[in-house]
Structure 1
């Protein structure tokens, strides 16, 4: 049986907007209340997927969460028809509209944490949707995310979709943005590297340390993970704007590509020694002298996708980087030196334009959830969610038909946006044969 890494990207929804809701996300704060471009955003995401498909990689996608989520407004005391609730919220608590309209489920790296069948004791692929409780607009996602995961991975012989962890501060979980699977090859068991920001309820950083050690440990237990290691993110990185570990580190196979300031140094030494004992581990550390932490975060250098060859071999690896890396002189110069260095496996860089996502704080790696799957497991995935040229063309047509070119903050108060969004998602569910995934 052959195993392959498959990327599942989140489709960017029709209410993509800049509300600046994520504390510690510098790009989100910088662009808060700017006009967004939903159609451009969604098409950029689809083109990134098309880039990988054309390079020969296995690619899938997820539905966007239904937005606005009016069940939240009802829970918070608003009554009447859908339009009446929107009108009341716009007058009485307009900040709630930003929360229920948020399209942040586009960042599939936060959808769930995944343990492949090779690494689980029961031989199934395990998914735990992230509770995302640190921010209100994301904490409402996991019930819909669970339904979507069960729609895509709908064969219980191969897949186990858990419910999100108990939503309490000690178990704050932000998904695969803080988890990396490392191993010698895709054909043998690997190690789950869980990165956490804090080990207690107290937040000791200026910006929220979102992932907790207890959450990571709980996921490893519930998934029956054979080999799990736990490493703390540095407070320096968090306070510089690395709200998730994937802003300062990305790993795949035997390679971990990371900034010098990514982790707590004492723990890093012990963890890396353990990894080196288990696999041909290659630590690719970018020093702060080569790329400052500020440049790494503003360009999202480490939020690039680190890919093996399409055939799964890891001797020569590839980065899918945002165009912001090409535009940053220090980062671009470093990447040119990197791919010329034959002592490490990263051999090429492809730059992709996901500027609409980047402006809200998510790069190429934020937009995808990586899932290691066997041939039989791939055959068991709902085929409507496998990205082919034909399917990507259909999705582009759907976006062009339904999405607005521009969306200003004031537009959230217009019930017509709600109607347009629901109509778009209804048509998408019809297109993909998954009407039960949405509950408007």
Structure 2
């Protein structure tokens, strides 16, 4: 019998899950700008926000303001792949070298192919080596992908989990090679436009109306780190190699899919994230129409890897079960600290962290509800929570009743 699309993770036992309550009395510091929206399969149920999206303008943040949501972006990249796979243009289990035009291999395991499924589930033996996943305009991704330091020499592709942003730069490159279009444009036509979202990777394809609502990201000294746009989309939406002009028309598609940050560069609001969440709760349907097949939703939200005590790096218990760009929490292992809700409540989705932002999109497959949240300006070391998540993430997740 076919299992319901979103119930694959709820049969896991709860043994070993932490059930401590969220730290009492926590509230976000005044400098943090935060927003959230809870939803069910049909609609947004409630929302809230606090703090300033733009300190210079005195503009307060709302749940409708776009922000760089960091690794939550990986969900949209994976949806792009799955849509292309349903069209027969990509295959999760084919050697990605077939699209790249060059051989992607872990030099310690030269006979083991690496697939899209492995890259999307962080099991392909690729690893981040510094910021090797930030490949600027004027460079190509191939040298980074052929560097021995970008691979785990001890574990073969498909055997071990290690979270890596470089995976998604490679996925973006495969997407470009398969379509002949820039990654950000493919994500727009395959995912963002069909879901009727005014969202974009690195601002390049957002509307002119979105930029004035951007959430500015600040460092601890009050200086702007990113997205201080002054009401306009940036003239150059990508990182550029010194000495290279920002002339995107000259960019050769398929040489650097990392350019538009498929691992973390999505600008979208909390309410925008609820649209993606509702589509997943509805087994791939949006607005009464099929966006993604139930089978693809099952593939995305079923565990491709689960920690057994020795088969992966969990980052202090944060990553213990993973699908296709989807975290499944909490995992049934006493070494894991991924109980975001503090009660053993099952959920799937993804966390995000970069440029002092903490974000999340989490869905409860039993109650058919979910929550999307963002919080900017958290500083380099925000207060810890009772779990591997930070206190701000636990506080926002608790808005899901």
Give the TM-score range, shorter chain. under 0.3
TM-score, with length taken from structure 2: 0.27
Relative to total residues, which structure has the larger helix share, 1 or 2? 1
